Structure 1
Amino acid sequence: MNVKFWEKAPQEKSPKKKKSFAREWGDAILFAVVAASLIRWATFEAYTIPTPSMEKSLLVGDFLFVSKLHYGPRTPMTPLQVPLTHQTIWGTNIPSYSDAIQLMPHRLPGFSEVKRFDVVVFNYPPESQHPADLRTNYIKRAIGLPGDSLAVKDMQVYINGKAIENPAGMQYKYLLVPKTQLSQKFFQDRNINLNDLYTYDNGYAVDASPELAAEMAKLDFMKDVILMKDLPGKGDPQVFPHVPSMYDWNKDNFGALYIPKEGATVAITPKTLPLYEKVILGYEHNDDAAVRDGKLFIDGKEVNQYTFKQNYYFMMGDNRHNSLDSRFWGFVPEDHIVGKAVMIWMSTNPEGTFLDRIRWSRIFKSIE
């Protein structure tokens, strides 16, 4: 072959070096971790129900798919984290993250906003020992939306002065007073959670729907079935805002309470400050905010009004007398919202035997 002097002669390519077995597996594992992390962050994530606060809508042992697409995925706030972990490294108590770098949260566009009655997964706001995006995941129903005025009167929730529809299967605490001792089978046959059953005042305190309570009251061997509710005017210091001398609220008689909305302004007075102090100091990312002598100071200056920087929500469990929710710790900031629970993909009964451990009727059931 004739080659002109200004042309390079063709060179033979050296054979590509084959990856070692360990390198191939390492690349495959790295790709799988990155792909799983992206899917978990941006689309769907699996969760389990550990407590009965949402019974009977959701049961202990339900495994859920939670959609990040509905409300839009959050950008990471804590970037220095071991992939596919939450607070600790699997099987240990070793923290899986460093909070040396904390980023401001942003939310990518979703195809829906949080709607009333949505079942929502969120980071537990009062848990200050972890960064906001790594706080314990809670699941409740969104009852109050930004800008709403919420009140609970004799266990009934009112939004903007109107009673709302109660979730199907909603439960309260009842005292069963039988004529004779009840067996474990009595409670199992009625699908009553044994883990939250306890003896009280010559009876049994149980979580049950009003319909089930009415059925049990008709039994010949039942003396009485008493609804264990709080009375109006009896302030509970465990209930938000934890000032019973000023707000005599309890879990069954609460509010009225305005739920902050982005851009809305409220007056800051000795009466309103307990309601919004935690929001302003803890969730609004104010660098220099403090409360001194019952007054709010921002950047060293006393303020008598405040404009909210983000939306807030009021969450409640369907098991109204066995739910640690917004009645006890206040509002859920929008940047704490994780996603919407959309489907039960598996359900196991912790109290079931080997043969009836799986709740087949709940598999691939949509969540309402």
Structure 2
Amino acid sequence: MKRPLTHCALGLLTALLIAVSVGRFCVGRYAVATRAMQPSLRPGERIVVDKLHRHYAIPRSAIVLFRSPHDGRTLLLGRSVGLPGDTLSVTPSGYLIRDRLYPYPVDSPDVYRVPRDLRLSLLTLLCFLDIPVRHLTDDTAHFRLRLTPSEADCVRQTLPLMLLPAPRPDPSAPHARFILPAARCPQRIDGVSLRLCREALLREARGHATIRSGRLFIDGQPATTYTFREDYYWILSDNAAVAIDSRHLGPIPRSAIVGMVVGR
């Protein structure tokens, strides 16, 4: 009688291990925490995320769950509107991808969003720099405040990982073009690339890259190209009024994508 019981216990243990592995590595269920994807997804809804799909080609316009590349923890939702190798045009009104215009964030130019875990560091720095705290408000994962351009530059020098609005071009300037980095493909580095990929460059180069006077230096030598190790996506949320997405974070690396939303 002991052998059948042993086999039964082993079978149950195996089934449990398979279930845990599937939940951890294959699919997962998550609760929608913000209004970023309204009306497609509403706060409180449960979604099913396919974690295996991120290892393959992510289709255009798929809804994906990803981690903020700034802190590696905050979970965000958005659509993969730009794929590796796509050309993104920076226009006075927004980003143009495949003839579709995606407007800039609705925040006014002097409103900045900062991760909540940097709140104490930022307030201490503002006090040290004698910068007044204006219109400090909180949302789900960030807080907002107003800074003048010169104040923002001072803060950015000390806290480079602050979450700042994407730079906006001069309306009179011609449209600038930017190609989303594809893994192992040399990327031309110019002013637009440096603005949009600044944090990605510094993360990938890991201490070998510096940016001075609007130029990239690798191991102290000026560089006009860089070969990224990862594919990068332009991910935007449906509700731009409250979303944190590539308009704030820049291109999202494949490694930051948890998976693709496949159901509720």
Once residues 144 and 271 of structure 1 are traced to their aligned partners in structure 2, the CA distance between those partners, rounded to angstroms, is: 16
Correspondence for 1:288 among 179, 199, 208: 208
- Residue deviations 1:249-295, cap 9 Å, x none? 9xxxx96543212233233345642332211111x254522234443
Correspondence for 1:310 among 230, 233, 244: 230
1:145 aligns with 2:83: yes
Larger Rg: 1
Once residues 258 and 235 of structure 2 are traced to their aligned partners in structure 1, the CA distance between those partners, rounded to angstroms, is: 13
Q: Tell whether the 8 Å contact from 2:184 to 2:229 is kept in structure 1 after alignment.
A: yes
Give % identity: 31
Q: Tell whether the 8 Å contact from 1:121 to 1:339 is kept in structure 2 after alignment.
A: yes
- Superposition deviation, residue 147 in structure 1: 1.3
Structure 2 partner of 1:260:
181
**Does the C-alpha gap of structure 1 residues 270 and 319 become closer, same or farther in structure 2, counting only changes over 3 Å?**
closer
Once residues 295 and 64 of structure 1 are traced to their aligned partners in structure 2, the CA distance between those partners, rounded to angstroms, is: 43
Once residues 259 and 58 of structure 2 are traced to their aligned partners in structure 1, the CA distance between those partners, rounded to angstroms, is: 9
**Structure with greater strand share of residues:** 2
- Superposition deviation, residue 137 in structure 1: 1.8
- Superposition deviation, residue 152 in structure 1: 6.9
- Superposition deviation, residue 70 in structure 1: 2.5
1:60 aligns with 2:39: no
Once residues 271 and 56 of structure 1 are traced to their aligned partners in structure 2, the CA distance between those partners, rounded to angstroms, is: 32
Give the number of aligned pairs.
Answer: 202
Map 1:58-207 to 2 at 5 A: 58-72=41-55, 110=56, 113-127=57-71, 132=72, 135-151=73-89, 158-160=96-98, 162-163=99-100
TM-score normalised by the chain length of structure 2: 0.63
TM-score normalised by the chain length of structure 1: 0.46
Once residues 45 and 261 of structure 1 are traced to their aligned partners in structure 2, the CA distance between those partners, rounded to angstroms, is: 27
**Structure with greater helix share of residues:** 2
**Does the C-alpha gap of structure 1 residues 154 and 277 become closer, same or farther in structure 2, counting only changes over 3 Å?**
closer
Q: Which consecutive unaligned segments of at least 5 residues does structure 1 have?
A: 1-14, 73-109, 167-171, 174-236, 345-368
Correspondence for 1:322 among 220, 227, 242: 242
Q: Secondary structure at the match of 2:235?
A: strand
Once residues 60 and 25 of structure 2 are traced to their aligned partners in structure 1, the CA distance between those partners, rounded to angstroms, is: 23
RMSD: 3.6
Structure 1 partner of 2:134:
none
Q: Which consecutive unaligned segments of at least 5 residues does structure 2 have?
A: 107-151, 153-163
**Does the C-alpha gap of structure 1 residues 152 and 267 become closer, same or farther in structure 2, counting only changes over 3 Å?**
closer
**Does the C-alpha gap of structure 1 residues 16 and 300 become closer, same or farther in structure 2, counting only changes over 3 Å?**
farther
Q: Secondary structure at the match of 1:71?
A: helix
- Superposition deviation, residue 33 in structure 1: 6.4
- Superposition deviation, residue 322 in structure 1: 2.2
Q: Tell whether the 8 Å contact from 1:142 to 1:315 is kept in structure 2 after alignment.
A: yes
